[in-house]
Chains A and B, each alone.
Chain A
Amino acid sequence: MAAMDRSSEARQRVVRVIPIIEGLLLLFLLVLPSFASDFHTIIATRMLLLCLLALSFDLCWGYSGIMTFGQALFFGMSGYVIALLANKADFLQIWGIVPIGMLVGLVVSFFIGWFLLLGKRTPTIIFVALGTLTASYAAERMVAGWQWVGAGNGMSIYDFLKFGSFEIEPGQLFYYIALGFVILGYLASRWLVRSQFGLVLAGMRQNEERLAFFGYRVQAFKALVFCFAGMLAGLGGSLYAHHEGFIGPASMGIGLSTFAVLYALFGGFGTLIGPILGVGAIEVIAFVLSDQDELKNYWPVILGVIMLVVVAYKPAGLLGFVVSDRERIGTFGKVPKGGRGGSA
């Protein structure tokens, strides 16, 4: 990593901030349950699971230019399958729940991705955005009207997640399990975006057509990222359903999908740590505001204002305050010997 500093001018000789943030955050998350009450640990676990959703959105939009307005679809769909397994088949084992959740996310995102992204013509970015939006909206309305999956009531899961006969109640243990999966998901995403594959993604971000001329099947790459992201969201959704003991139509609709967008934008999209900070920031604000009598009802309005301000005035998000544009955008791939120079 130091190679980058050596290779360039003084203006680039800045301390890299992201690893520091990552380290501090990890430390904080590891010790959190030791000073937080059970109630707050449970709230924090919920946030961790939402991080997976935020991360999955960011992989799509921040790294491969797929504007997905329906990322909650994969999250919620997997939650529904897990709730069905629990209610109809009495299956609560974590070793089965996690891979099934990921698989559901993967399969659903594969079909959506195949329909929206692949084909003879390159779809417009607007088509993809509206397509994902429609898919998530239609799915929400579908489950909301389908009695077998609880219709508008959604589904409660009465029993706890299990490993063998041991029950994993929401609390400290569940928190660390969730944290473990978030770290795994984060590392996997980081590996993906920094590998050779990630280099292609970065190239696509710069100029899609140029990459296409080089012979890359740009849409296939996009579809791959989309599937990976869907899988991450599915993982989050499966654990979320068990943690909350409840899954409803809103968990796969436009509302939560928009939150995914908001998390990433607010934290800083195009970095992996940004969305996670975004989840933390937005959920903590929401939590604090829910105690403020005068402000509580205006929380959605405040969210809208935050979103507008970020979009119009601070596209780099929270992270933009502490991280330079160069570090934010330029951290992918292994730096070749002799430095990379001005890749832009």
Chain B
Amino acid sequence: MSKANKGLSRRGFLKGASALSAAGWVAAGSTWVLKPEWAHAQGPIKMGIATDITGAIAPGGNSNWQVAQFTVKKINDSGGILGRPVELVLEDTASDPGTAVGNVRRLVQQAEVDVILGGITSAMREAIKNPIVRRGKTLYLYPQLYEGQECTPFLWCTGPTPAQQCSELLPYLIKQGNKRFAMPSANYIWPQLLNEWARRVIEENGGEIVFEEYYPLDQLEYSATVSKIMNEGVDHVFNTVIPPGLQAFTKQLYEAGFQDKGGTSSCVYFDENAVNYVPQRELEGVYSCLDWFHTVKDPFSEQLLKEYAEMFPDTKYLFSAGTGSTGMYRGIKLYEQSVIATNGDLARDAVAGALDSASIPEGPGGPAKVVPGSGHVAMNMYIGRAKGGQWDIISEAKMVDPDECGKT
């Protein structure tokens, strides 16, 4: 056992470590850290990233991690925050909440970071928020689009909420003539709470919900569901089935001729990665609503995308909205703004006070602004429609309110 203790260095493992060693990677004691290239008398600001580098969510986690590196590199290249460089510390949450609890503890207690960003699934956020915020007394920023209703103090959600994703998309769909909605869903918390919101919006706008059903995440057989969709005159399928069940469902729906008969569907986590999940012909015409698509005409976003591609050429981990990468960028930049506002004071209460009204003038998809007292962020939302593997931007809504925690 004692031997094992010695072997404990460098726990936060990094897949592309060799490639990144040139970028300043060092094994410092217990965790992989990205050291800035220059120093400051007060030392660096330590930023902890806890995300899924391995396991089932790894594609999303690695995207988040690359975006974190990208964003921090940009900050450091332009002189750091008030002259202090930012140091990144990574812990792998391994797509397993059980493992994550232990690893996050290390970020808080051993690396003593000033802020933690990360977590993708709701299960992960639920598992790690307690060790970070409550027991660890550290700020936590959660980047992914999610089901809402997270109002824990010192926890900020920088991704879109159900209100943001639904309140533009669904009225638009109903205006297009879709009246009867079906809600096939994967059985976990995100679809459940998202559907609750969607149901309200649909009914307020004169739509009607034919059914709302929850399946095991990896269910392979949807004939009963598809038959009901076909037989009961459903106009629009508001789909929250996730992989691996997703493909079986979309295929059965497609083959039953739903699209051919004029039916449409939407899936609000679909982004540029969607073509990996679903063949292009089944994806054609599907709607999504996110805070950014690569096709958004915004000079700053386009520049970001270009620089990201330069830093990670040919990467399979995209800088896209569906995996929390936009929330990660936003979170880091909002934190930067808050520290500037406190004049360099990193104490949790001070930064939290500044974060409560922080805003950034530009980012992926546009500006972002924290809604005071809500712990959530107002941002631009885009309705996209899949066409030839790209997302056509149907409409843009400026600074949509997250409508969470009783604050609008």
Q: B12 — nearest CB in chain A belongs to which residue?
A: A291
Of B4, B8, B11, B126, the contact of A156 (CB 8 Å cutoff):
B126
Q: Give the segment of B96-104, B169-177, B273-281 that binds chain A.
A: B96-104
Contact flag A145-B187 (CB < 8 Å), given A153-B123, A154-B97:
yes
Q: Would you call B130 and A293 a contact (CB within 8 A)? A: no
Q: Would you call A151 and B127 a contact (CB within 8 A)? A: no
Q: Would you call B188 and A35 a contact (CB within 8 A)? A: no
Q: Would you call B217 and A144 a contact (CB within 8 A)? A: yes
How many A residues are at the interface, by size bracket?
A: 35 or more
Q: Give the segment of A174-182, A208-216, A244-252, A317-325 that binds chain B.
A: A244-252
* Residues of A that sit less than 8 Å from B by CB: 28, 32, 35-37, 39-40, 42-44, 141, 144-145, 147, 151-154, 156, 158, 244-246, 248, 250-251, 280, 284, 287-288, 290-293, 296-297
Contact flag A291-B8 (CB < 8 Å), given A39-B105, A246-B127, A248-B98:
yes
Interface check B28, CB cutoff 8 A:
no
Chain B 2-34 interface mask (CB, 8 Å, partner A; 1/0): 101101111101110100000000000000000
Q: Would you call B106 and A39 a contact (CB within 8 A)? A: yes
Per the CB 8 Å criterion, the residue count for chain B at the interface is 36
Q: A295 — nearest CB in chain B belongs to which residue?
A: B13
Chain B 164-194 interface mask (CB, 8 Å, partner A; 1/0): 0000000000000000000000011100100
Q: Would you call B10 and A152 a contact (CB within 8 A)? A: no
Interface check B225, CB cutoff 8 A:
no
10 nearest A-B residue pairs (beta carbon): A153-B123, A152-B188, A288-B7, A145-B187, A284-B4, A293-B13, A151-B188, A296-B13, A288-B4, A291-B11
Q: B217 — nearest CB in chain A belongs to which residue?
A: A152
Q: Would you call B8 and A36 a contact (CB within 8 A)? A: no
Q: Which residues of B contact A36 (CB under 8 A)?
A: 1-2, 5
Q: Would you call A293 and B14 a contact (CB within 8 A)? A: yes
Quote the shortest CB–CB distance from B128 to chain A (angstroms).
10
Q: A293 — nearest CB in chain B belongs to which residue?
A: B13
Quote the shortest CB–CB distance from B346 to chain A (angstroms).
24
Interface check B158, CB cutoff 8 A:
no
Q: A160 — nearest CB in chain B belongs to which residue?
A: B135
Q: Would you call A154 and B123 a contact (CB within 8 A)? A: yes
Quote the shortest CB–CB distance from B186 to chain A (angstroms).
8
Q: Would you call B98 and A156 a contact (CB within 8 A)? A: no
Interface check B54, CB cutoff 8 A:
yes
A197 to B52, CA, bound (A): 49
Q: Apart from A144-B216, A245-B101, A287-B8, what are 16 other A-B pairs with CB-CB below 8 Å?
A: A36-B1, A40-B1, A153-B188, A153-B189, A156-B130, A246-B101, A246-B127, A248-B98, A250-B96, A250-B98, A288-B7, A291-B9, A293-B13, A296-B13, A297-B15, A297-B54
Most buried by A among B4, B102, B109, B130: B4
Interface check B122, CB cutoff 8 A:
yes
Of B2, B8, B106, B216, the contact of A141 (CB 8 Å cutoff):
B216
Q: Which residues of A contact B192 (CB under 8 A)?
A: 147
Chain B 103-127 interface mask (CB, 8 Å, partner A; 1/0): 0011001100000000000110011
Of B17, B109, B189, B216, the contact of A293 (CB 8 Å cutoff):
B17
Of A151, A290, A297, the contact of B187 (CB 8 Å cutoff):
A151
Q: Would you call B98 and A246 a contact (CB within 8 A)? A: yes
A312 to B135, CA, bound (A): 47
A-B contact pairs, 26 of them (CB 8 A): A36-B5, A37-B5, A39-B102, A39-B105, A40-B1, A141-B216, A144-B216, A144-B217, A145-B187, A147-B187, A151-B187, A152-B187, A153-B122, A158-B134, A246-B97, A246-B101, A246-B127, A250-B96, A280-B1, A288-B8, A290-B11, A291-B9, A291-B10, A293-B10, A293-B14, A297-B54
